[in-house]
Amino acid sequence: MKIIRKPPALQRGDAIGIIAPSSPVEMELLERGVRELEAIGYRIVVSDAVLARRGVFAGEHQRRAESLLRFLEDPEIRAIFSARGGYGSNYVVEYLAARPFLRRLKLLTPKIVMGYSDVTSLLLFLNQALGWAVFQGPMVAREFAGGELFYDWSSLEQTLSKPNSEVILESDAWSLRPGEAEGRLLGGCLPMLTATLGTPQEVDTQGTILLLEDVDEKPFRIDRMLFHLRRAGKFRQVKGVIFGEMPGCGGGATAREGLKDVISEAFRGLDIPIIFGFRFGHTTGKCLTIPIGVRARLAAQDKVTLTLLEPAVRARVKKGARKRGKKKV
């Protein structure tokens, strides 16, 4: 088990930096999301590059990467939220993975970094290259822009701000294969995980409870990606699997029915619990905040629960506090 470096807990009044590592952002949605976060009690700092555009990207690749790096190095910024997903985080990862920038990153104190969808590429990089706990969770110009009907307030608060309490996430998800498992949480958007194969950032699934989600994909494409991961050996030492709601996927009356046989084939011969419909990432309901890198227990029976076995953040050191030690003589 790798050592996970946890960011300091987020508090009211803290500054949250907003970035756009992928596709272009609509100003109206961004402003609505910013107002929602300010109403919660956070101070919001929007990167000057967020509204940039270059084709299908939110500005030049280097500029997007440098915007993130500036926020990561700014001591006043306590957390970094993504405005949206789309496509393009892979270029940011490529830039930050270069040796000069990676050296700078390794000297930093971890910060809360949150998003989903295409941002999965960035979260995996921060988790695997730096050992940081990172967060699959709501985004500014999407869930926060829609208000509290679209993000789960309880999991957001408990996961980002509570360094001492046990977090239990209950779900109306279905148990496709009942059972219990313990492991570190890892995963995100299925195409982004598949795209890491054969790269320096290839996903390491050993000993994990694997999170998989997507949106508006046909069954054969889901099958192809799961087949690719299985043939690459990425399911061999997985302890359990959590599928998201997968809205628009499957081609059947429901995504669960449309993908049930695909999932069964992908994980044949593996005696592990598998659930479907956990509301993280792309979802029609309230988006959960789920930490990546921390240990958790999955219980998949008639009722599905995910229990975090350790906090995802650490307690803040109070200003003026000093470490006590033996007095030198």
Residues that are catalytic: 117, 213, 282
278: left (phi over 0), alpha (psi -120 to 50) or beta: beta
At 268, give phi and psi (nearest 5°): -65, 140
DSSP state, residue 140: I
Query: How is 183-200 classified by DSSP, letter by letter?
Result: EEEEEEEHHHHHHTTTST
Q: Return all residues near 166 (Cβ < 8 A) that are at least 6 apart.
A: 307, 308
Of 269, 265, 285, the closest CA to residue 277 belongs to: 285
DSSP state, residue 118: G
31-52 burial, b for 16+ CB within 10 Å, e for fewer? ebbbebbeeeebebbbbebbbb
- Report the 3 state secondary structure along 51-64: CCCECCECCCHHHH
18 in Cβ contact with 34 (< 8 Å):
yes
Cα separations in angstroms, 290 against 209, 241, 280 = 12, 14, 7
Report the relative pairing of strands 167-171 and 304-308 from DSSP bridges. antiparallel
Of 201, 223, 198, the closest CA to residue 212 belongs to: 223
Q: Return all residues near 21 (Cβ < 8 A) that are at least 6 apart.
A: 58, 64, 65, 68, 82, 88, 89, 92, 115, 118, 119, 122
